[in-house]
Structure 1
């Protein structure tokens, strides 16, 4: 069983940055590594569930034409909307995976710090939905904390084991440290456009 909405409501009750995304060097560095791991300079349409207060979303918004963010918690959604208020190409909705999957296809899906909040059955459904939503040149990026989290039905290692086992995609990038694991899979074996230039 996944953690319910009350778990996240408690986190945001007295704190608009419960994971210290803005202030901790660990989080800033991880975000920079995540962005640097994206093999393409620019994406057409990106989906980021579990966007929290929108810190990673703000970085993703600079690398895409359209970004669809989602979070289970209404406070997080309001914070993300405020953080991204000047980005007219970004949409932030309240929703909970796997039930509230958005329509359309994406060339990047970012599953960051979300998998261990879902039980294995729900996580497998998210994997299936991701595969069905990726376009032919799409990629999936996953990043998760590796230490146990009280009350979570899975660990980060279990989350990535299921991804590796059930994603019929090409592994492009893997970066593992003591604290987190970051991986990128793609629908095609070569994903870096050598002709792509900076704007």
Structure 2
């Protein structure tokens, strides 16, 4: 089978390296009132007050990581950009329960089970094939009674392979039919969407 040149590809780590080289906070995670409101809504949507083991995919500068850690006994936070991870480590240096790793999901994925997996502003960077692989690995890594939280910007971005709605709809399309997860919560703001899934 010949590769389809029109098929969107996952954005490579070099894309993010260049973005962070040009701007230390390219999406204004540290200063944006919009981001702060979204982080507050994300944490408020957690169905449990505390999780023994959590996994955050695409932690960037660690702004959400720092807030999430207050609800976690252990938190593994990963990103593909070394510059972002360096700042995240500094931000969360006072939080011994947080572990950072340079990791490219879904090709690389921890061999662990988690009570919470956070997929925030990362899914639309994957190709459809990688999104499918990510969904399988993410849903397979959640303990019974655990949660997956999806939070994504919904307007299209010209160089992103997918939209936030694409990501959420793809996850939800197989969740309830398979019978292993139930859809607990759905929220839609003007420019982002939040969904919570629970492993039964």
> 2:112 aligns to what?
104
Query: After TM superposition, what 4+ stretches of structure 1 lie above 2 angstroms from structure 2?
Result: none
> 2:3 aligns to what?
none
The 3-state SS of whatever aligns with 2:22 is coil
> 1:73 aligns to what?
81
Alignment of 1:116-195 (within 5 A): 116-168=124-176, 169-188=181-200
The 3-state SS of whatever aligns with 1:108 is strand
CA distance in 2, matches of 1:81, 1:166: 35
State the 1:11 CA deviation: 1.4
8 A Cα contact 1:127 1:166, kept in partner: no
Gaps spanning 5+ residues in structure 2: where? 1-8
CA distance in 1, matches of 2:164, 2:134: 15
State the 1:84 CA deviation: 0.8
State the 1:175 CA deviation: 0.4
- TM-score scaled by length of structure 2: 0.91
State the 1:166 CA deviation: 2.1
Q: What is the CA RMSD across the aligned residues, in angstroms?
A: 0.9
CA distance in 1, matches of 2:32, 2:140: 35
State the 1:121 CA deviation: 1.0
> 1:91 aligns to what?
99
State the 1:18 CA deviation: 1.2
> 1:12 aligns to what?
20
CA distance in 1, matches of 2:24, 2:160: 22
State the 1:4 CA deviation: 1.0
Worse overlay, 7-16 or 93-102: 7-16
Worse overlay, 171-180 or 160-169: 160-169
How many residue pairs get aligned? The number is: 188
Gaps spanning 5+ residues in structure 1: where? 189-199
CA distance in 2, matches of 1:49, 1:158: 18
The 3-state SS of whatever aligns with 1:110 is strand
CA distance in 2, matches of 1:14, 1:85: 25
The 3-state SS of whatever aligns with 2:41 is helix
